[in-house]
Amino acid sequence: MTNLQDTVTLNNGVKMPGFGLGVYKMEDGQSVVQSVKAALKHGYRLIDTASYYHNEEGVGQAVRESGIPREEIFVTSKVWNDQQGYDNTLKAFEDSLEKLGLDYLDLYLVHWPVTGKFKDTYRALEKIYEEGKVRAIGVSNFQVHHLEDLLKDCKVKPVINQVEYHPHLTQEELKVYCEKENIQLEAWAPLKRGGVFDEPIIQELSEKYRKTPAQVILRWDVQHNVVTIPKSVKEQRIIENADIFDFSLTKEEVKQIDSLNRNERSGPDPDTFV
């Protein structure tokens, strides 16, 4: 990636921006509308929401009022755990579309691998995809064994696996597996919600490149070819987070950040959460 609007090509040929805005914990209404509009104004073209975030209405409003053609914006949403199963998922998708006020989605994800349900949920995503209501389908929080299980049965390969990913959780095995299967890895909580800024190597690189700790970490994601969706409600930070295309970490520095891995999650463990 050389700029904010560069894309990655997913395994079904669809192009997706490699960097975007996450909107988890943004309040529906003015808060999310203003943040999404600010991001779009400053060049972001990927917005990541979910039914669970209860702010799809505001996201849709911002997309519509942005003045940017719909087809230039990539909108992701996700089916929540209590909406899973085949019929429920078909309904959940229609609800999301209606709340967003859009007539198609760019990407729809199974939010978590709910035991005993995620395959039926995914079958519903395949139907939605075949009907042309979504340009790409994928999963989130899937471990290698969930993917292996899904790939045995699915007709349409997931394009994305969106997982927690930051310097304290580098997901090495999962990353190698996804690369081998041509499933794009996408990082949620790329900043570990502020939990990695104080690492000495991050501080050191921040001084060396005159970039903030957040920018150093997000640059590391980009150099790993991981799609990244940091969240901020603050316009200044939305600008800051995307201002990472004018410097480059050396291979050695990327490795130094890799070595901060502790397999430490800020969110739930997919094997015990659902």
Ligand X SMILES: NC(=O)c1ccc[n+]([C@@H]2O[C@H](COP(=O)([O-])OP(=O)(O)OC[C@H]3O[C@@H](n4cnc5c(N)ncnc54)[C@H](OP(=O)(O)O)[C@@H]3O)[C@@H](O)[C@H]2O)c1
Please list the active-site residues.
Answer: 53
Instruction: Return the residue of 42, 54, 237, 265 that touches ligand X, per CB under 6 A.
Output: 237
**Closest separation in Å from C-beta 229 to ligand X:** 5
Q: Which of residues 54-93 bind ligand X (CB under 6 A)?
A: none
Site string for ligand X, 158-187 (x = CB under 6 A): ----x-------------------------
Residue 258: Cβ within 10 Å count: 13
| Closest residue to ligand X, based on beta-carbon distance | 22
Residue 238: Cβ within 10 Å count: 23
The verdict on 43 binding ligand X (CB under 6 A) reads: no
Q: Provide the CA 114 distance to its chain's centre, in angstroms.
A: 19
Q: Which of residues 93-112 bind ligand X (CB under 6 A)?
A: 111
The verdict on 221 binding ligand X (CB under 6 A) reads: no
Radius of gyration of the chain (CA): 18
Name the segment binding ligand X (CB under 6 A); options: 9-17, 21-29, 81-89, 116-124: 21-29
Residue-wise DSSP of 45-95: -EEE--GGGT-HHHHHHHHHHT-S-GGGSEEEEEE-GGG-SHHHHHHHHHH
CA dist 85 and 56 (Å) reads 21
Residues found near ligand X in the complex (CB under 6 A): 22-24, 48, 111, 140-141, 162, 188-194, 212, 214, 229-234, 237, 240-241, 267
